[in-house]
Amino acid sequence: MSSKKIAVIGLGNTLRRDDGIGIAILESLIASRKTSGIDYLNFGIAGFDLLHRIRDYDTVVLIDGINASLPVGELRIFELDKIEYDLKDTLTSSHELGLKDIFELYKKLDIKTKVYVAGIQVEDVSFGEGMTETLKERRDAITKEIGEFLDVLCHTGKSR
């Protein structure tokens, strides 16, 4: 059997200010540390084809802006199948498929791929280009932290 297939998928809408953070971090990862054995995919506002692509991989890391009442720019990495969605609307995304939708379909379709979400707390998702200063300042640190998480995944097949 071939080595494990890993995908890093950036989600976000770059026309909605901080919501573009998933795409910005994906681009930073590609520029600074393109690793063999990892596919880097830009899925923008996440349509239904995202779920079909997830099935092509053993492990997927979704990078997305979230609204989870955390400090702006804070990164949380968690396993999709360990999320309890009693949060109602506290963990939201502004895509065709939000994280809650992806979670529900992931369960219903019995997808076997291990999916991690690298969620970054956003501040402003109003229409407009460019991220807020807080996210611009945190971009390199977030990229580094996700990169370190990917290193662990690549070398052990497991998260920290």
Count other C-beta atoms under 10 Å from residue 119's C-beta.
25
Residue 114 lies in a domain: yes
pLDDT, average across residues 120-131: 94
Specify the pLDDT at position 112. 87
Instruction: Decide if pLDDT at 2 tops 50.
Output: no
Specify the pLDDT at position 99. 65
Instruction: Decide if pLDDT at 86 tops 50.
Output: no
Q: What is the pTM of this model?
A: 0.85
| Contact yes or no for 69/87 (Cβ under 8 A) | no
User: Which strand (E) or helix (H) includes residue 152?
Assistant: helix 133-156
Give the range of the structural domain holding residue 85, as residue numbers without chain letter: 6-156
Q: Which two tokens stand for residue 125?
A: 């998702």
Interacting residues of 104 by C-beta distance below 8 A, sequence separation 6+? 85
Instruction: Decide if pLDDT at 18 tops 90.
Output: yes
Residue 138 lies in a domain: yes
Instruction: Decide if pLDDT at 91 tops 60.
Output: no
Q: Which two tokens stand for residue 16?
A: 């909605």
Q: d(Cα 119, Cα 90) in Å, to the nearest integer?
A: 13
Residue 32 lies in a domain: yes
**CATH number, position 92:** 3.40.50.1450
pLDDT, average across residues 24-40: 90
Q: d(Cα 133, Cα 88) in Å, to the nearest integer?
A: 29
Instruction: Decide if pLDDT at 43 tops 80.
Output: yes
Interacting residues of 87 by C-beta distance below 8 A, sequence separation 6+? 68
Q: What's the domain count of the chain?
A: 1
Collapsing DSSP to helix, strand or coil, 127 comes out as: coil
Residue 1 lies in a domain: no
